[in-house]
Amino acid sequence: MTINPEAPVRVRIAPSPTGDPHVGTAYIGLINYIYARQRGGKFVLRIEDTDRARFVATSEQEIFNSLRWLGLSWDEGPDVGGPYGPYRQSERTEIYREHCDLLLANGTAYRCFCTAEELEAVRKQQMTAKLPPRYPGTCRHLKPEQVEGNLATGKPFVVRMIVPPHAGEATTSTTFRDELRGDITFEHNNVDDQVLMKSDGFPTYHLANVVDDHLMHITDVIRAEEWISSTPKHVLLYRAFGWQQPRFWHMPLLRNLDKSKISKRKNPVSLIYYRQAGFLPEAMINFLGLMGGGMPSPTAETAAGQPAAKASEADIFSLSDMLARFEVKNIRLGSPVFDLTKLKWLNGEYIRAASPESFFASLRSTILSDSYLSQIAALVQTRIETLGEFGNLTHFFFADDVLPTPEVFIPKKRTLEDTLAFAAEQLTVLEATDWTHETLEPALKQLGEEKQWSVKENFMLLRAIITGSTMSPPLLESMIVFGKARSLDRVRRFLDTQKKLATGKR
Ligand code: GLU
């Protein structure tokens, strides 16, 4: 049962607040936004925060800020409300529980009491036998009295959905239509009895996503290709509930230059980075619009795989151009390459085309903003004798690249190799640490102790990487003002450059 084609269009993006807002969210957000606006439909923002282990408190606000920065406004969402709220999944747990009970009652789901150890033992056996890891269905066959007994003793359980065949049925595969690809069929022996409700009472992504898309009257699920393999589970859930399913569109994934899925190791993926590093929102939107195609562009091959040898005028368009000329039939399924060189070229085009006033306004709203400058001023006030020296100590806050020479970054008695290995460890620690003095200092010191790097060596190396020099305002405070996204990018770029230098190809 698919959605009534006449139903008014409603689309959504459903980011999980697990870290910095991702360029992929903006890319998928843009396509949803255009699709809704072109059809007089509604664009919904839903926060999928049921994964409490990966939850990051500041992330939701950063998602809002980044999408607004790009000009992608939503009609319904946690901060603006709407008729089908709440729009934050953590506030909907009761709804999921009720829906899970419906499935338990109609026999399309069951309680599973298997312990983590039991599941692990099965997984090991399957691996030894070179079988794909699958839940063996043990608890599918529990008798009602066994279930009652387990419940009475308070044994923890999850709820799993029954992937057909149900007893006595013949269904062995699920087919759904992807609007960009046509029919896609999944054999059920590749689909596990998916957990719907975890033992902590929180739903999994699959249950919450389907229940919400239904209750929020979503007509079109436009999301990234990586969710294709989840879709058969969702289709089975729509059937289990007896609901109409939405249309599914899976956009091609953004890729690194080497075609791997876009990752922070190869490209900055945080929208915060792009904003703070001075990319203009118009350029960013234009670039993301090039990614999956959609515009009638003569340089279609650019986004379809090859990094642009030459970018052309036709690659330059605004959000309103996209609203006027974007067509889903132009979407290409080749892997769009997130090519920073091209993004920079585009950004340069926008900078050159801006009036002097608006260029200056862009600087004033980012790297020359009062809040940024005043924080930097506070760091150097006690360290300079004339105002003219301000730049001597602070250039690294304004430069994009600072590359310390080996004399500056290799501590005495350390080798280049040791130093780079330690810098890579620093990066891992920094990635995992909250960006405050109280958390950064002990985290770095602990790493130093583990690897037997003195505090002096440890901080000297990081200072060299971040500031390019052995002298700077206080390091951690500087990194906090400079921001996590840009600091991490600097360390990654340093390591990357050193790697290239070592292998002789710059
Ligand atoms: N929460 C998922 C995400 O983080 C949503 C995927 C979907 O759109 O269904 O991308």
439 CA → ligand 1 middle, Å: 30
Per cent of the chain over pLDDT 70 is 95
Report whether pLDDT(301) > 70.
no
Q: What mean pLDDT value characterizes the chain?
A: 92
Catalytic residue among 198, 261, 264, 344: 264
Probe target for ligand 1 pocket from 209, 213, 235, with the most ligand atoms within 8 Å of CB = 209
CA distance 34 to 6: 19
Report whether pLDDT(299) > 70.
no
- Judge if 383 and 473 occupy the same domain: yes
CA distance 214 to 103: 15
Question: pLDDT tens for residues 152-206?
Answer: 999 999 999 999 876 566 668 999 999 999 999 999 887 889 999 999 889 999 9
- Give the pair of three-digit tokens for residue 10: 């409603």
Q: Per-residue pLDDT averaged across 374-385, rounded?
A: 96
Probe target for ligand 1 pocket from 25, 227, 262, with the most ligand atoms within 8 Å of CB = 227
Per cent of the chain over pLDDT 90 is 79
- Judge if 407 and 436 occupy the same domain: yes
In this structure, the strands spanning 220-224 and 247-251 are: parallel
Report whether pLDDT(297) > 50.
yes
Specify if 397 maps to a domain. Answer: yes
12 CA: nearest ligand 1 atom: 8
Classified as helix, coil or strand, 248 is strand
- Judge if 347 and 422 occupy the same domain: no
Q: What is the CATH classification number for the domain harbouring 126? A: 3.90.800.10
- Judge if 68 and 138 occupy the same domain: no
373 CA → ligand 1 middle, Å: 37
- Give the pair of three-digit tokens for residue 427: 């990066």
- Judge if 395 and 423 occupy the same domain: yes
Q: What is the CATH classification number for the domain harbouring 456? A: 1.10.10.350
Report whether pLDDT(43) > 70.
yes
Asked whether the beta carbons of 50 and 21 are under 8 A apart, the reply is no
**505 confidence band (pLDDT: 50, 70, 90):** low
- Judge if 389 and 470 occupy the same domain: yes
Task: Work out the number of other CB atoms within 10 angstroms of the CB of residue 503.
Answer: 8
Asked whether the beta carbons of 311 and 302 are under 8 A apart, the reply is yes
Specify if 178 maps to a domain. Answer: yes
Long-range Cβ contact pairs of 391-400 (< 8 A, separation 24 or more): 393/471, 393/472, 393/473, 394/473, 396/466, 396/467, 396/468, 396/469, 396/472, 396/478, 396/482, 397/367, 397/372, 397/478, 397/481, 397/482, 398/367, 399/468, 400/277
Q: Which of 167, 197, 227 is the last residue of a domain?
A: 197
Higher pLDDT, 131 or 459: 459
Higher pLDDT, 300 or 208: 208
- Judge if 489 and 398 occupy the same domain: yes
**310 confidence band (pLDDT: 50, 70, 90):** low
Q: What is the CATH classification number for the domain harbouring 31? A: 3.40.50.620
End-to-end Cα spacing for the chain: 56
Specify if 330 maps to a domain. Answer: yes
Q: Which residues contact 493 (CB under 8 A, 6 or more apart)?
A: 401
Q: Which residues contact 308 (CB under 8 A, 6 or more apart)?
A: 299, 302, 315, 339, 341, 342, 345
Asked whether the beta carbons of 166 and 239 are under 8 A apart, the reply is no
Specify if 84 maps to a domain. Answer: no
Question: pLDDT tens for residues 489-500?
Answer: 999 999 999 998
- Judge if 453 and 312 occupy the same domain: no
Specify if 260 maps to a domain. Answer: no
Q: Which residues contact 383 (CB under 8 A, 6 or more apart)?
A: 393, 473
Q: What is the CATH classification number for the domain harbouring 296? A: 1.10.1160.10
Task: Work out the number of other CB atoms within 10 angstroms of the CB of residue 465.
Answer: 24
489 CA → ligand 1 middle, Å: 25
Q: Whose CA is nearest to atom 10 of ligand 1?
A: 15
- Judge if 238 and 100 occupy the same domain: no
User: What is the pTM (predicted TM-score) of this model?
Assistant: 0.90
Asked whether the beta carbons of 323 and 34 are under 8 A apart, the reply is yes
Specify if 87 maps to a domain. Answer: no
Specify if 390 maps to a domain. Answer: yes
Structural Rg of the chain based on CA atoms = 26
Q: Per-residue pLDDT averaged across 388-409, rounded?
A: 93
Would residue 124 show up in a list of annotated catalytic residues for this protein?
no
Number of structural domains the chain divides into: 4
213 CA: nearest ligand 1 atom: 9
Q: Which of 357, 379, 411 is the last residue of a domain?
A: 357
CA distance 366 to 278: 7
Classified as helix, coil or strand, 198 is coil
Report whether pLDDT(225) > 90.
yes
Task: Work out the number of other CB atoms within 10 angstroms of the CB of residue 406.
Answer: 11
- Judge if 282 and 348 occupy the same domain: yes
Asked whether the beta carbons of 27 and 285 are under 8 A apart, the reply is no
Asked whether the beta carbons of 297 and 290 are under 8 A apart, the reply is yes
Report whether pLDDT(306) > 60.
no
Q: Is the dihedral of CA 473, 476, 477, 482 positive or negative?
A: positive
Specify if 282 maps to a domain. Answer: yes
Question: pLDDT tens for residues 432-445?
Answer: 999 999 999 999 99
CA-CA-CA-CA dihedral for 99, 105, 107, 110, to nearest 10: 70
Q: Per-residue pLDDT averaged across 85-106, rounded?
A: 96
Report whether pLDDT(374) > 70.
yes
CA-CA-CA-CA dihedral for 366, 367, 373, 379, to nearest 10: 130
Probe target for ligand 1 pocket from 92, 205, 210, 228, with the most ligand atoms within 8 Å of CB = 205
- Judge if 377 and 497 occupy the same domain: yes
- Judge if 99 and 211 occupy the same domain: no
| Enclosing domain of residue 485 | 370-503
